[in-house]
Amino acid sequence: MLDRLVPEGVELCETYGDMAPEAAAACLFPSERAVVRHLSEERRREFATVRGCARTALARLGIPPEPLVPDVSGAPRWPRGAVGSLTHCPGYRAAVVAPAREYAALGIDAEPAEPLPAVVAARLLPDAERRSADELRAVLGLPADRLAFCAKEASYKAFSPWCGRRYGIRDFAVRLAGDGSFRGAVPERRHRFEGRWAVRSGYLVTVVCLAAEDWSGPLTAGFRPDHGWQQAAM
């Protein structure tokens, strides 16, 4: 599903099912098992499976397995020299990773290809985004309101380590295009970026890949307002 969503240098791994309980338990490091010891068996398998995807993708970069323990935001701490992002929803898990020298940040999100409940759409999508989603749904016949939410979530995952936790999903403005792309804006900043989306096998998947040559400076400098518009290389 994701091969056409990510640019060269980004590795991905996806699966439509979880590991067996014994395999899931065996693939986790002790520090990871400690994180999920009080969770249900289903949640432990989900946690292990998506980390298995991440380790498979990292291996393609030549990075050996190590613990991927969540930080306070819930995102995993990636090995030195790598950036990445994880996603999981019912029946689907995926990871994207890349060398930090080539990409400053990645964000991925997946959702079932079903419309958002009206109350959720009203809370998470500003009027302009809902109108844009309605237009795209009329043309393509897909649940564009949930696709917009999915794009905002991928954007949040890419930028939140740099922006801080004061921003939420709603704060990231996105506009979907019918060619499988979307444009986004960083909260309270002039910086703009691009992402990609796809619909496959009943799932919506969105990815944001921020190239280091375009984004390392603005991100580490706290989005200098004089830097102008930026665009992720896709």
Helix axes 144-163, 127-140, angle to 10 degrees: 130
Contact call for residues 229 and 190 (beta carbons, < 8 A): yes
The per-residue pLDDT for range 73-100, each reduced to its tens digit, is: 788 999 999 999 999 999 999 999 999 9
Specify the range with the lowest mean pLDDT, choosing from 3-7, 166-170, 200-204. 166-170
Q: Taking the complete model, does pTM exceed 0.85, yes or no?
A: yes
CA distance 233 to 208: 9
Provide mean pLDDT across the span 201-219: 88
8 A C-beta contact, residue 85 and residue 47: no
Q: What is the pLDDT of residue 232?
A: 34
d(CA 105, CA 141): 31
Q: Which of 221, 196, 194, 223 is nearest to 210 (CA)?
A: 194
Average pLDDT, the chain: 87
Residue 1 has a pLDDT of 55
Choose between 214 and 222: higher pLDDT: 214
Predicted confidence (pLDDT) per residue in 131-186, tens digit: 888 888 988 899 999 999 999 999 999 988 777 666 778 888 899 999 999 999 88
Secondary structure letter of residue 226 according to DSSP: G
Is residue 219 within 8 Å of residue 179, measured between CB atoms?
no
159 CB-near residues (< 8 Å, 6+ apart): 105, 107, 167, 172, 186
Amino acid at 91: G
CB 82 within 8 Å of CB 106: no
Residue 165: other Cβ atoms inside 10 A: 9
Rg of the chain in Å (alpha carbons): 17
